[in-house]
């Protein structure tokens, strides 16, 4: 694969595999933390993450446009974005450091934790650096983001064991592990961006990006409004309702990882839009999203019981969220089409009138439509019906499902207007048939809700699915063989490049 090529299958598979691996590494890191620090300090860590999330919001504004400009081979886009994001990162870190004493006083957190909170300002700055690095790599070699994620996760585990378990540095050890792992990830990305640093920054880009950043801010606000529904669930459903929903959504989110199979579609559409790429992405995502969703339905109670036996009662919530995740996966492809076909930023000048008329603005407005459905509905249902924790969780999941399914259909209509493409109904039908056979087998062969037995059932279900699919879908067989060959060839070429330099 040359540097300019983007192979949908290979890039998507690499990103999907490393995202799944990150689930395991994340769990191991969490176990190291929870077994090495007191519960009170673990709560401090959670609070710190919540606070940091507000100061890293600005990290993705400029990188969003860097990706689009880099995909269209606009010279100097990375260098310009890097300079601007470094400045924004320094300002955000400084504001965070200045406000931290006030924040911990307002939250009545002990002053002994002030150095820990101040130390975390490095994370704010690192987030801005990583965001612009990944934005530049994404349209050129998207699979390298998967390798970068793997480098971060492995580094985090090794450093975490050394600093958290062996040396027992507590919260400082946790933050040091994350900061050092991010530095290693940055150094890994530098290998692929060294040439871009030689380009000249373009001031004209900055003016266009800052004007267009109105879209980014518009999108960020919609997400914050939607979060009000989660707060209502906590207020009117209680702590247990939030726990039920958190456990169910954690498992259902794994279904969403299948969307990474279409990871390279967006930059490819920015560079060279072809409808066959959309169809291929739908095939790839469908091949894993459907069995993962139905598998979560069949094993809902067992999967929840792995986290904690009391969560098994929320199996209906997990079933709804798994189906919701399936629609969200397809929704992400339609979003890529809508965003990828928008040429707003390809023009020399960006006016506010063009921004408000753009497909990007329309796409972000749909998030407000989702909030308009979910937030008031959640408030009224939970306030008027006064359900118990389990019922509240079920109502909340159902409301979210209605919103997600409705918006997915809307995005499909909009995507078809942007670019006519074929839905591979034949392939989807075969994926569904194979997944139904797998689901029936899982229901027949029940087992106690233990971790080992549940994982064995997951493995058996996967084998049954791919055996049935291989028997009924010749195209799936050819696709798997092609991807395997492509992965082996590219890994071999990567090893050669690693030894010879960029």
- CA-wise closest residue to 419 among 284, 266, 209, 306: 266
Global pTM?
0.82
- Biggest CA-to-CA distance, the chain: 67
At residue 170, the pLDDT reads 83
Question: Do residues 30 and 174 touch, judged by C-beta distance below 8 A?
Answer: no
Question: Do residues 402 and 373 touch, judged by C-beta distance below 8 A?
Answer: yes
At residue 262, the pLDDT reads 86
Crossing angle (nearest 10°) for helices 203-226 and 77-106: 40
At residue 5, the pLDDT reads 40
Q: What is the 3-state secondary structure (H, E, C) of 177-208?
A: HHHHHHHHHHHHHHHHHCCHHHCCCCHHHHHH
Q: What is the DSSP letter of 310?
A: G
Q: What is the CA radius of gyration of the chain?
A: 23
Domain map of the chain by residue range?
1-201
At residue 4, the pLDDT reads 38
Give the pLDDT confidence of 420-443 residue by residue, as tens digits. 999 999 999 999 999 999 999 988
At residue 317, the pLDDT reads 93
At residue 326, the pLDDT reads 94
- Alpha helices for 257-385 (secondary structure H): 265-271, 275-298, 300-307, 315-340, 352-357, 359-385
At residue 497, the pLDDT reads 55
Crossing angle (nearest 10°) for helices 474-500 and 451-472: 110
Could you write out the DSSP letters of every residue in 11-48? HHHHHHHHHHHHHHHHHHHHHHHHTTS-HHHHHHHHHH
CA-to-CA distance for 259 and 328, rounded, in angstroms?
9
- Locate 349 and state its tokens: 């000048």
Question: Do residues 314 and 244 touch, judged by C-beta distance below 8 A?
Answer: yes
- CA-wise closest residue to 367 among 342, 338, 320, 404: 404
Ordered mean pLDDT values, 10 residues apiece, the chain (502 residues): 52 83 83 79 78 88 90 88 94 94 84 90 95 92 90 94 87 92 95 87 88 86 84 80 82 87 84 84 91 92 83 90 94 92 76 82 91 92 84 92 95 92 91 94 82 86 90 79 66 56 49
At residue 1, the pLDDT reads 36
At residue 332, the pLDDT reads 93
CA-to-CA distance for 194 and 186, rounded, in angstroms?
12
């Amino acid at each position: 694969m040359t540097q300019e090529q983007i192979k949908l299958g290979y890039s998507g598979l690499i990103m999907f595999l490393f995202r799944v691996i990150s689930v395991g590494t994340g769990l191991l890191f969490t176990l190291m933390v929870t077994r090495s620090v007191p519960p009170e300090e673990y709560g401090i860590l959670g609070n710190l993450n919540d606070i940091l999330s507000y100061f890293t919001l600005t990290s993705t504004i400029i990188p969003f446009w860097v990706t689009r400009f880099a995909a269209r081979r606009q010279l100097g886009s990375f260098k310009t974005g890097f300079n601007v994001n470094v400045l924004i990162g320094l300002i955000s870190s400084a504001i965070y450091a200045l406000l931290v004493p006030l924040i911990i006083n307002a939250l009545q957190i002990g002053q002994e934790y002030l150095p820990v909170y101040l130390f975390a300002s490095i994370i704010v700055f690192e987030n801005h650096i990583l965001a612009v690095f990944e934005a530049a790599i994404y349209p050129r070699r998207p699979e390298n983001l998967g390798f970068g994620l793997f480098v971060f996760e492995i580094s985090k585990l090794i450093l975490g064991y050394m600093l958290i378990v062996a040396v027992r540095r507590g919260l400082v050890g946790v933050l040091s592990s994350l900061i050092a792992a991010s530095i290693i990830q940055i150094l890994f990305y530098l290998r692929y961006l060294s040439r871009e640093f030689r380009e000249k920054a373009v001031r004209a880009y900055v003016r266009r990006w800052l004007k267009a950043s109105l879209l980014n801010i518009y999108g960020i606000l919609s997400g914050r409004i939607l979060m009000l529904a989660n707060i209502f669930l906590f207020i009117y459903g209680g702590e247990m309702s939030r726990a039920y929903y958190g456990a169910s959504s954690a498992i259902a989110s794994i279904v969403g990882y299948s969307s990474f199979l279409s990871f390279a579609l967006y930059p490819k559409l920015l560079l060279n839009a072809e409808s066959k790429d959309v169809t291929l992405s739908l095939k790839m995502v469908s091949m894993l999203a459907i069995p993962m969703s139905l598998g979560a339905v069949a094993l809902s109670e067992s999967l929840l019981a792995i986290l904690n036996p009391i969560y098994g009662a929320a199996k209906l919530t997990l079933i709804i969220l798994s189906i919701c995740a399936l629609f969200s996966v397809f929704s992400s492809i339609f979003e890529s089409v809508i965003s990828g076909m928008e040429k707003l930023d390809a023009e020399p000048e960006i006016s506010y009138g063009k921004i408000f008329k753009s497909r990007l603005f329309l796409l972000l407005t749909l998030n407000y439509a989702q909030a308009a459905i979910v937030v008031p509905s959640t408030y009224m249902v939970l306030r008027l019906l006064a359900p118990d924790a389990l019922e509240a969780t079920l109502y909340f999941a159902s409301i979210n499902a209605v919103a997600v399914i409705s918006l997915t259909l809307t995005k499909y209509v909009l995507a078809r207007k942007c670019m006519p493409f074929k839905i591979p109904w034949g392939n989807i039908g075969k994926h569904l048939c194979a997944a139904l056979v797998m689901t029936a087998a899982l229901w027949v062969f029940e087992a106690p809700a233990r971790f080992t037995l549940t994982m064995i059932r997951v493995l058996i279900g996967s084998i049954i699915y791919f055996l049935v699919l291989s028997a009924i879908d010749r195209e799936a067989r050819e696709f798997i063989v092609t991807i395997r060959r492509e992965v082996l060839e590219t890994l071999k070429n990567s090893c050669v490049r690693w030894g010879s330099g960029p």
